[in-house]
Each structure stands twice: as C-alpha cells, then as structure tokens.
Chain A
Amino acid sequence: MRQFASDRDFRAGFVAMLPACIGIAPFGLVCGVGAAAAGASALGALGLSAIVFSGAAQILAVQLLAAGSPLAVIVLTCFVAGLRFLIYSAAMAPYLRPLPARWQHGLAFLLTDQAFAASVRRFDAGGDPRGGGLFFFGGGFALWTSWQLTNIVGYFLGNLIPAAWSLDFAVPLCFIALVAPHFRSYPTITAALVAAFAVIAFAGLPMKLNLIVAGVIGIAAGTLADFARERWTPR
C-alpha cells in the first residue's frame, strides 16, 4: 500500500473522492443501523459492507432479511438493483482496456456510482491510462475505507442518533444526487416517471417485488421513448 500512498495520481484520486465520502457517510450509517436492526452479527454486517459494497443492495438485503423473505427473492432484488453496474462497467471499459488484466479485475471491484462519476471526468481529461487507473484506485480506496468506517459506526452507535434528525432520508437524497442530473432528455425522464408510477401502482406486491417490476417497466418505457424520439425527430 505504501508504494501507492506516495503516488501523485493515487493521492489525487483519493482527495477528489473525499467530498463524496462525506456525502455518503449518512448513507453508510443508515446501512450499519439497518444491519444491526436485522439482527446481523458485527462480522456479518462488516462482511456485507466490505464484500457487497453497494448501499442500495445492502439496504434492500437487510430490510428483506428482517422481513424474512426467501433467499432467492433477496438475491434477485439486489441483483436487479445492481444492474446499473453493467452500464458503469460498459462506460469504464474503454478507459481500463489498456491496463493489465489484474488491474481490471481489481478496479472492477471498486466500481461504484461515485467512483464512476469521478473517474470518467479524469479519464476524459486525458493522460496516460496507468495514471487514470491509479486515480480510480485512489478514489475507490477512499470510498471503500470510509464506507466500512461509517457502516461500523452505524452498526454500533446508530441507536444514539436521534430519530428527529431523519437520517434515513439521506439515502434517497444520495440517489437523487446521482439520478437528477441525467434528467436532460425525454426518454430518460420518461423512464424515471414511468418507474415512479409503477413502483406506487405495484406497491401491493409482496417482498418489494414492485421495485423489480417498476425498474423493468421504466427501462422498457425509456427504450420505447428513445425509438419514438428517433422516429419523429426530423433529420
């Protein structure tokens, strides 16, 4: 680790990620609180945050575990919620392709919403791929480490946080920060609006299955709107 700590690109990536680390800190706390509420052991809570390393999947997993949902439903819901990693993976692929395979395999583990957003900007700015890779690694390392810390603090001290602070609300705000800047095209807005209506309309489904249904319907609506826009846009 010491060899990286002195690297300029690694440090730049680490520092660039610090605001995002603060931004997702309340989310990490909420995940830790959720794991404790679901009756997970400290080691189980740490395993969840360290290995799964995805707030959305962790929140869904502990809520479904607490509700006693079957394993297959928990896995399917978390997988569908994590489908967005496919997009990030596809978008990052051209930048990481010049790097050795073991770097690709390692950096993929650190691919998150935040790391993706920060690194695409850095890669687009140019420079050598190795520097970009180290920048990504620095940011991913900062995010992973701070995520574990906030999850642990939430697990052990979460019950000390006053309910009046409504800390839970930080979770949707983190996702709003990610999704709202994309609302610049009709198909994207269509996908989001249809998903929003569908998740409410199918709220009666058990075990949060309305999330998967709404996600799929929203994606289909966005795709159709995309075709429609192409069809009716004069060239």
Chain B
Amino acid sequence: MDATLKLWAVIATVGTLNYLSRLSFIALFANRHVPPLLGRAFRYVPAAMLTALVVPMVVTLPLGPIAASAPKIVAALVAGVVAFVTHSQLKTLGSGMVTLWVLEALAQRFG
C-alpha cells in the first residue's frame, strides 16, 4: 500500500475508533447497563495499559544487561514516587528528567 494512503487510512480508522471509545458511555451506551464483570475489568484498564506502554520505554527490550537501562529505571521509579505523593504532572516530569540527566552525566564521567 502507498505510504501516504496508509497513513491516512490509519488516521481515519484510529481517529474514528478513538472517537467512538470516547463517545461510548457519554452517548452511545448512555442508557445501557454495563455487565458487572465488564465494569469490574474496566477499572484495571488504565493501570494495565499505561504500565504496558511505559515499561518498554524505560527498559530496553528484549531484556539485555540491566546496567544499560539502569539510569532510566531509577529515574522512572523516582518520578513514580513523586507522582504518587504530589499528583503533579510537572513535578513528575521535572524530577524524572533531572534524575535521568544527573545519572547519565555520572555514568559518562565514571562509567
């Protein structure tokens, strides 16, 4: 498939599906009853999905020597604690980036 056409096909289908997900309970199933099992499973979608997205961005996969990913792992853990305590997006971003910069500078100096 032509690359430009493929990109627009992705934009159209993903755009539509994302919009339908966003619209789902606001309008589409506004008057439907959610089955209890589904409702229970729903609660864990953000925690499972967001974690599955985060881990490969922090740990190089397939899993190699842990030292290569160590600065990112430590920075992600620091940011996680800051996010848990402060609920602040900016403090999470700031603490995570600064931790990574410091650790990478140290690794370069002493590594």
Residues in A lying within 8 Å of B, measured CB to CB = 19-20, 22-24, 26, 38-41, 44, 47-48, 51-54, 56-57, 61, 65, 71, 74-75, 78-90, 92-93, 96-97, 101, 104-105, 107-109, 111, 114, 164-166, 168-183, 187-189, 191-196, 198-200, 203-204, 208, 210-211, 214-223, 226-227
Q: Which of B9-50 contact A (CB under 8 A)?
A: 9-15, 17-19, 21-27, 30, 34, 37, 40-50
* Chain B 44-78 interface 0/1 with A at a Cβ cutoff of 8 Å (1 = within): 11111111111111110111000000001001100
Interface size on B, residues (CB 8 A): 68
Known: A48-B10, A108-B27. 10 other contacts (CB 8 A): A23-B90, A26-B93, A83-B45, A88-B22, A175-B54, A176-B79, A179-B54, A180-B92, A182-B46, A191-B47
Report whether over half of chain B's contact residues are helix, strand or loop; otherwise say mixed: helix
Other-chain contact of A177, B9, B42, B83 (Cβ < 8 Å): B83
CA distance A188 to B48 in the complex (A): 8
Which residues of chain B come closer than 8 Å to A97, judged between CB atoms?
A: 30
Q: Are A169 and B47 in contact (CB under 8 A)?
A: no
Residues in chain B within 8 A of chain A (CB atoms): 1, 3-4, 6-15, 17-19, 21-27, 30, 34, 37, 40-59, 61-63, 72, 75-76, 79-81, 83-84, 87-90, 92-93, 96-97, 100-101, 104
- Can you list 5 A-B contacts with CB-CB less than 8 angstroms, sorted by A residue number? A82-B17, A104-B27, A166-B104, A179-B51, A214-B48
B8 to chain A: closest CB distance in Å? 7
